[in-house]
Amino acid sequence: MAAAVRTRGARGSRGARRPLMAVAGALIALVFVLPYLIMLIGSFKSRSGILRVPPTYLPDEWLPSNYVDMWSTPETPLPYNLVSTIVISVCATLLVLVVAAPAAYYTARHRFPGRLVFLLLVLVTQMLQPTVLATGLFRQFVTLGINDTWLAMILVNSAFNLSFAVWIMHSFFAAIPRELDEAAALDGASRLQILRRVTLPLVWPGVVTAIIFTFVACWNEFAASLVILTTAENQPLSVALTKFVGQYESAWQYVFGVSIVGIVPVVVLFALIEKRLVAGLTAGAVK
Amino acid sequence: MTTTATRPAARSTDRPRGGRSRWAATVRALPWLGPTLLLMAGVVFFPAGYMAWTSFRDLSQFGVDNGPAGLDNYARLLEFTALPRVLLNTVVWVVGVVVVTVLLSLGLAQFLDKAFPGRRFVRLTIIVPWAASVVMTTTVVYYGLDPFYGIINAFLVDVGLLDQPYGFTRNAVPAFFTAMGIAVFVSLPFTTYTLLAGLQTIPDDVREAAQMDGAGPWATYRRIILPLLRPALAVATIINIINVFNSLPILQVITGSIPGYNADTTTTLIFKFIRADRQIDTASALSIVNFLIVLAVILVYLKVVKPMRED
């Protein structure tokens, strides 16, 4: 976890190469943002402009109005899709937090028979994805009568992101020395005070990482939504987006507008936890 | 499972003793673990079992259960004429994408481990394809590669790499390789970050010692850095194998409108069975095959990486 930040000063000949490396770095950065740059520029083009043959790199006329018009198109009820994405992601994230936190805390602080079996189960679940179980999930939700509902997708998203949240929070709880609690208790702090003043501030980075990671995964989920959510109003942005791409005519400017709206928030969230991005996914295997 | 058995909870202060109190400790843990167990059982393990059961049933297109089918669904899979091609595609897809991703990420991680002006910015830009929805990333590339109005195609012609726009997404084979390229692109961030985390655990004095012994940069990398990077490399490789194997959106967007099964993997074939043909029973049989493959990879992961190790 504690990725030591090493500051390696430029020594000798290394210093001379640094401007060159900066240029190479800029090129790499450009490659990684290029598709999103195309998206951003395309989202301001007119319908005829984006289908022009041969294409132009920049719009002849910048149309910010695309970002207004895309909410009312015949292809998909976009306001519903956004609400659907938000409701599913927020509910699933909250559910994950409520369910995972006690398990993470208890397995970090207590030893009991079956503890390692439990952690192993969590680990195996972490490596399963809704894609491989989509057929079973679809069958089950049809049988239960909750297919094509938000509830079904909230359950799927929370179940498949639960393990990551348990792992990351487990490792943060485990890193707190037990003596810290005991010392606080000797000073006369109540259990609740210990939790609020001692434990929570220390595990807070882990909790935030778990929240952001779960939220982003739910926000981008595609495969299970594609099979389980069949009503246009219930579908999330990731599925709705594909409706703009037709066999003969595609409203690319709206595809890109929706994409920008869908991508910017999650990139910001990921950037906030950049240092801890690897920690939970690799479940303590990289130290 | 051997890892669990050989891992004594020696350090714990509340270690349970004796028969009855052992179980009491487990029972005390249940309220804390219960919700997690319930959710995993209900939405992961039960559907897995239900899927296995369905794979031995005869289901109508409307989901009506017509009784047991024995191994008919599996037999239908074997008789499926496109199966050899789909299996070959799956192997090419997973091996090709993972190998190229890991090789490129090794270089990227090595580069980003060095100090240079703007490094933090470059690292942040690499996050973008990781956070962004894969459907959205793939869709913009699909647009860009259109032979008529695609801007990437136009750019390739403008810089002289192509004489005229090429229909990357029009035929199965080029479309499949295009999809592989996108899969590499979206897998690079996670892989690079994992390898970067691995590089940061290698102390500076190890490298310096190698240099003092007269090892050149390549010899240092191959003999010192790479062996120390092995755990990170194993994690990155195995998690990538699972992600790439399960990947649906890239091929769905790039090759979805191409008729036939020449650009399908087992994963995309499952979704064609469900959505186009409504053959839930055959889809279940193929899903079970996929599920077993994933479980095998997970076992390799547990064996090679030993993530349950506690220290």
Interchain CB distance below 8 Å, A222 and B134: yes
Q: How near does any CA of chain A get to the CA of B134, in Å?
A: 8
Write the residue in A99, A107, A250 that is nearest to B39 by C-beta: A99
Optimal mutation site among B61, B111, B133, B295, interface A, most CBs of chain A within 10 A: B133
pLDDT bin (cut points 50, 70, 90) of residue A12 is: very low
| Residue A281: predicted pLDDT | 60
Q: How near does any CA of chain B get to the CA of A208, in Å?
A: 16
What's the mean per-residue pLDDT of chain A?
A: 86
Optimal mutation site among B20, B50, B140, B164, interface A, most CBs of chain A within 10 A: B140
Residue B19 reports pLDDT greater than 70: no
Residue A278 reports pLDDT greater than 80: no
Residue B152 falls within a domain, yes or no? yes
What's the mean per-residue pLDDT of chain B?
A: 87
Between A197 and A228, the more confident residue is: A228
Q: pTM for the whole thing?
A: 0.87
Residue B16 reports pLDDT greater than 50: no
CA dist A115 and A139 (Å) reads 32
Residue B94 reports pLDDT greater than 90: yes
Say if B276 is an interface residue toward chain A (CB within 8 Å): no
Q: Which of B14-23, B136-145, B242-251 is least confident?
A: B14-23
Partners of B48 on chain A (C-beta within 8 Å) are: 133, 136
Contacts for B78-85 with beta carbons within 8 Å, 24 or more apart?
B82/B260, B82/B261, B82/B262, B82/B264, B85/B261, B85/B262, B85/B264
Domain count, chain B: 1
pLDDT bin (cut points 50, 70, 90) of residue A9 is: very low
Tens digit of each residue's pLDDT (9 = 90 or more) over A214-262? 999 999 999 999 999 999 999 999 999 988 887 677 889 999 999 999 9
Between B87 and A276, the more confident residue is: B87
Name the range with the highest mean pLDDT among A177-186, B153-162, B225-234: B153-162
Q: How near does any CA of chain A get to the CA of B26, in Å?
A: 6
Residue A180 CB neighbours (<10 A): 13
Average pLDDT over residues B69-97: 92
Tens digit of each residue's pLDDT (9 = 90 or more) over A48-67? 899 988 899 999 889 999 99
Residue B198 falls within a domain, yes or no? yes
Average pLDDT over residues A196-207: 86
Interchain CB distance below 8 Å, B116 and A21: yes
Q: How near does any CA of chain B get to the CA of A61, in Å?
A: 17
CA dist B205 and A32 (Å) reads 33
Residue pair A124/B298 in contact (Cβ under 8 Å)? The answer is yes
| Residue B47: predicted pLDDT | 93
Q: Considering only CA atoms, which of B196, B197, B213 is closest in space to residue B205?
A: B213
What are phi and psi for residue B109, nearest 5 degrees?
Answer: -65, -45
Interchain CB distance below 8 Å, B239 and A124: no
Q: What is the CATH number of domain A69-281?
A: 1.10.3720.10
Between B311 and B194, the more confident residue is: B194
| Residue A1: predicted pLDDT | 36
Residue B99 falls within a domain, yes or no? yes
Residue B311 reports pLDDT greater than 50: no
pLDDT bin (cut points 50, 70, 90) of residue B257 is: confident
Interchain CB distance below 8 Å, B39 and A155: yes
| Residue A282: predicted pLDDT | 59
**CATH code of the domain covering residue B274:** 1.10.3720.10
Query: Percentage of chain B surpassing pLDDT 90?
Result: 51
Pick the residue from chain B with its C-alpha nearest to A269: B131
**What are the E-state strand segments in chain B?**
57-59, 65-68
pLDDT bin (cut points 50, 70, 90) of residue B269 is: very high
**Inter-chain CB pairs, A–B, below 8 Å:** 351
Residue B2 reports pLDDT greater than 70: no
Tens digit of each residue's pLDDT (9 = 90 or more) over A105-132? 999 888 888 888 998 888 888 888 898 8
Interchain CB distance below 8 Å, A55 and B139: no
Partners of A178 on chain B (C-beta within 8 Å) are: 13
pLDDT bin (cut points 50, 70, 90) of residue A3 is: very low
What is the secondary structure of B270-286 as a DSSP string? Answer: HHHHHHTS--HHHHHHH
Interchain CB distance below 8 Å, B140 and A287: no
Say if B297 is an interface residue toward chain A (CB within 8 Å): yes
Residue pair B206/B173 in contact (Cβ under 8 Å)? The answer is no
CA dist B311 and B303 (Å) reads 17
Residue B285 reports pLDDT greater than 90: yes
CA dist B227 and B234 (Å) reads 11
Query: Percentage of chain A surpassing pLDDT 90?
Result: 51
Q: Which of residues 189-218 of B touch A (CB under 8 A)?
A: 189-190, 193-194, 196-198, 200-201, 204
Range of the domain at B173: 83-305
Interchain CB distance below 8 Å, B44 and A237: no
Residue B150 reports pLDDT greater than 70: yes
Q: Which of A230-244, B54-68, B120-134 is least confident?
A: B54-68
Average pLDDT over residues B5-19: 46
Partners of B237 on chain A (C-beta within 8 Å) are: none
Q: Considering only CA atoms, which of B31, B16, B11, B311 is closest in space to residue A106?
A: B31
Write the residue in B42, B63, B154 that is nearest to A142 by C-beta: B63
Interchain CB distance below 8 Å, A21 and B114: yes
Q: How near does any CA of chain B get to the CA of A102, in Å?
A: 5
Q: Which of residues 226-265 of B touch A (CB under 8 A)?
A: 231-232, 234-235, 239, 242-243, 246-249, 253, 257
Write the residue in A42, A159, A271 that is nearest to B43 by C-beta: A159
| Residue B309: predicted pLDDT | 60
One-letter amino acid identity for A26?
A: A
